[in-house]
Structure 1
Amino acid sequence: MPAGEPSWSADLYAAALRAGHGPLYLRRADGSLLPLEVERWCAEADAVDLEVVRWCEGAVLDVGCGPGRLVAALIAEGRRALGIDVSDAAVARTVGLGGPALRRSVFDPVPGEGRWGTALLLDGNLGIGGDPRALLDRLARLLAPGGLLIAETVPGDIDERELVRVDDGRGGGGAPFPWARLGTPALLRLARSAGWRLDGQWAAGGRRFVALRSRAASRTAEQPNSTAVISSQRARNPSPESVVDAR
């Protein structure tokens, strides 16, 4: 999310991640506040998160990994995983949990482009950049042919694009940046038009998820998960560049 990077890497968000709690919000143009679940993000992966982990295939790219609970859970299960986030504080916390992570926008060059088995867009990260179609197109290029995208959606048939800012609810706020919110119906409409197909959808713990499959490879193409699973005997904290190696 190029336009949003300065706000997500600013003091309010970083301070909340370091403290492990909010309050923290996204303030919308009309003044209303969307709560950010900092406490849940900074906790260990819960049962709902672990169900997402079970859906994952091959090497996993957690886009907007935040403080790293999903990356840590994946590594603990012996999977290859990498978190990317525009916040130094998020990357530091992820690495502190034993998970490889890079300070990187999803729209910047990412290690293993075109070879990831699964990409994650959880905790509102479907909104990154304020243009879900551009984000879906970018993830299609990051995933291996036939790769899996697991996205978390908001309740209802919501399709919102607007400028928001990180806010502590006490008068402190960052610069505005574009953001989006999609419910499952809106995401499915957009995904179909962008060439994705539905692989599954479910709800758990008050949260909603959609699994989408990118275009499949040709018959002669390399299978996407041929080298994607890491042995549980390997190091728990590999370098980010070594997470995906399809050579």
Structure 2
Amino acid sequence: MRPAPRATLFDDLLSGEALEVRHPTGSVQLLDPARWRAGPDPTDIDVVRRCTGPTLDLGCGPGRLVRALRDHGVVAWGVDGSAVAVQMCRHRGAPVLHRDVFAPLPLEGRWQHVLLLDGNIGIGGDPDLLLARAAALLAAGGTLLVETDPDPGFSWTGSLRFPAATDPSSTRWARVGARALEVIAARLGLAVVDRRTARPGRGDIVELRGGARSTRPAGRGTG
């Protein structure tokens, strides 16, 4: 089993202020830790109500969704590579694992829902690999709930760099709009079962369910 990951650039971001990240495409992405640290908004509550069984939140941040799910009577755990996020989760009373999302996780193949919200489809900079990993965590009939980029057709992979971070290295990341996500989902044998518009400034929430084909990308491992 992989050990808990080292401190990440997101440790600094979670403790600080909002940051605009300019991508080589010319687009700008706002990373707003204040929203991550806040309570659930109406879009989050809608997601919570759609989770009817054990739920795993990948890249859970400070744990607002995990806490809301538990308050709603749903068994839920978070997973995050940031030590700061894990500390915030625990302070909030949200169960969390300090772990790489590609490391072995509890109840693999038995989660009813897996969440990739707040742009977490970008984790690792390889949406195909991440979606395949998330789908492998699901029980039969389970679903992925994925928040997409506000621009439906947008697709980008590359590196983020936060100049003020204590760790100057870059982090692989991705951004995927709803239409672009549907293309990836079809490639992996995942079916779109629902797509809902979130509040202004956020992308859609797309719900995916595994199909008959394997969701493992050909020729790739899970790290």
TM-score (norm 1): 0.77
Q: Which amino acid aligns with 2:148?
A: T
Contact 1:27 1:166 in 2 (8 A): no
Q: CA deviation at 1:213?
A: 0.8
Residue in 2 that maps onto 1:106: 101
Provide the residue aligned with 2:85 in structure 1.
90
Query: Unpaired segments of 5 or more residues in structure 1?
Result: 217-247
Whole-Å Cα distance in 2 between the matches of residues 51 and 112 of structure 1? 25
Note closer, same or farther for the CA distance 1:179–1:102 as it changes in structure 2 (3 Å cut).
same
Assess, with a 3 A threshold, how the Cα gap between structure 1 residues 32 and 184 changes in structure 2: closer, same or farther.
closer
Match of 1:238 in 2: none
Q: Which of the pair has the greater relative contact order for Cα pairs under 8 Å at 6+ separation? A: 1
2:180 match: 186
Question: Which of 11, 16, 28 lines up with 1:14 in the alignment?
Answer: 11
2:194 to 197, 200, 209: 200
Q: Pick the aligned partner of 1:164 from 156, 160, 178.
A: 160
Cα offsets for 1:23-78 (capped at 9, x unmatched): 33445357875220111110011111101111113101000000110001001111
- What is the Cα deviation at residue 17 of structure 1? 2.6
The structural deviation recorded for 1:139 is 1.1
Q: Where does residue 147 of structure 1 map in the other structure?
A: 142
Structure 2: gaps (5+ residues): 213-223
8 Å CA contact 2:52–2:74 kept in 1: the answer is no
Secondary structure of the equivalent of 2:162?
Answer: strand
Q: Distance in 2 between matches of 1:33 and 1:187?
A: 19
Larger Rg: 1
**Separation (CA, whole Å) in 2 of partners of 1:166 and 1:186:** 26
16 and 127 in structure 1: CA distance in 2 versus 1, 3 angstrom threshold: closer
Aligned to 1:214: 210
CA contact (8 A) 1:64 1:83 kept: yes
| Cα distance, 1:215–1:180 mapped onto 2, change above 3 Å | same
* 1:58 match: 53
Q: Are 1:24 and 2:19 counterparts?
A: yes
- Contact 1:84–1:104 (Cα < 8 Å) also in 2: yes
Offset at 1:142?
Answer: 0.7
Deviation at 1:161, TM superposition (A): 1.1
Kindly state the Cα deviation for residue 204 of structure 1 after the two structures are TM-superposed: 2.3
Q: Which amino acid aligns with 1:39?
A: A
Amino acid at match of 1:24: L
TM-score by length of 2: 0.84
Could you tell me how far 1:159 is from its partner in structure 2? 1.2
Separation in 2, partners of 1:194, 1:114 = 17
Quick one: which amino acid aligns to residue 74 of structure 2?
Answer: R
**Shift in CA distance, 33/93, structure 1 to aligned 2, threshold 3 Å:** same
RMSD: 2.2
Distance, in Å, in 2 between the alignment partners of 1:167 and 1:28 is: 14
